[in-house]
């Protein structure tokens, strides 16, 4: 992980209320605010959003958390019931207020689907940069849809360590989507994942997440994997639900 990913902001300019809110989130996450930097990965405030940029790529569109994007809203509109494989894997139906820990939230896209279906989702993120991106996404979601935003909780912690502090059976399900080498051909996804991999590095401790998740999940643990990937922690699931590009390995607690 890079030693420093600064937030680039000209501190000689008085920030707007929205910009100050973003700066507050960044400072709470322990990120440095700088007027300029030669760091390859940088955070910028663009249209009142916190955006992660790769300074070495002039064509980079940046990475942000946007729960109000067209993609998110499409999944929300078309993901009712069991139409979304993740919902089927988790055992979530429309309006079910089950509790879920997302221990590897990334940009929060799968967590958004679960919350939109009614789940109360706790996202646990150890990277201060990703934590700040998620917090900013939730800030903007709360301005437009406060009820939906209220279904999210965000914790800045190492997921395995966090789960080890939680009581057995304290959450109905745990969702895991650890980083895996990406083979998608889409240029946009490829660039986005390249920036994330440069930021986070390999998930060398991903196997430790499964036993920690199984210890706190009352009903099940779901692990999202590319179709060709081995089982997490070399542990065979109770069942698997396949989609076009991924499978969801389901570990049922009895």
Which residues belong to the annotated binding site?
109-110, 125-126, 177
Q: Number of C-alpha atoms within 13 angstroms, CB side, residue 97?
A: 4
CA dihedral (2, 40, 23, 16) in degrees, to 10, reads -170
State how far the alpha carbon of 63 is from the alpha carbons of 43, 93, 165, in Å: 9, 30, 31
Binding-site annotation: residue ranges for S-adenosyl-L-methionine: 109-110, 125-126, 177
Distance of CA 181 to the CA centre of its chain: 17
Sign of CA dihedral 148, 154, 159, 165: negative
Q: Cα(first)–Cα(last) distance of the chain, in Å?
A: 38
In sequence order, the β-bridge partners of residue 79 are none
């Amino acid at each position: 992980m890079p030693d420093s990913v600064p937030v680039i902001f000209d501190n000689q300019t008085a920030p707007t209320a929205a910009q100050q809110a973003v700066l507050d989130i960044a400072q709470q996450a322990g990120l440095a605010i700088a007027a300029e930097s030669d760091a390859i990965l940088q955070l910028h405030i663009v249209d009142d959003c916190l955006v992660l940029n790769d300074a070495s790529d002039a064509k980079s569109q940046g990475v942000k958390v946007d729960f109000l994007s067209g993609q998110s809203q499409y999944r929300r509109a078309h993901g009712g019931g069991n139409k979304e494989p993740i919902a089927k894997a988790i055992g979530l139906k429309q309006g079910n207020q089950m509790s879920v820990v997302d221990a590897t939230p990334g940009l929060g896209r799968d967590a958004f689907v679960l919350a939109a279906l009614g789940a109360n989702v706790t996202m646990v993120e150890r990277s201060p940069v990703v934590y700040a991106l998620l917090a900013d996404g939730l800030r903007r979601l709360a301005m437009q849809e406060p009820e939906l935003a209220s279904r999210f909780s965000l914790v800045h912690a190492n997921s395995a360590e966090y789960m080890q502090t939680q009581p057995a059976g304290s959450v109905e399900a745990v969702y895991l989507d650890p980083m895996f080498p990406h083979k998608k051909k889409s240029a946009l996804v490829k660039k986005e994942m390249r920036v994330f991999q440069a930021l986070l590095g390999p998930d060398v401790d991903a196997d430790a997440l499964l036993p920690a998740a199984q210890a706190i999940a009352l009903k099940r643990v779901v692990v999202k994997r590319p179709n060709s990937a081995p089982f997490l922690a070399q542990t065979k699931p109770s069942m698997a639900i396949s989609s076009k590009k991924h499978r969801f390995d389901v570990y049922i607690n009895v």
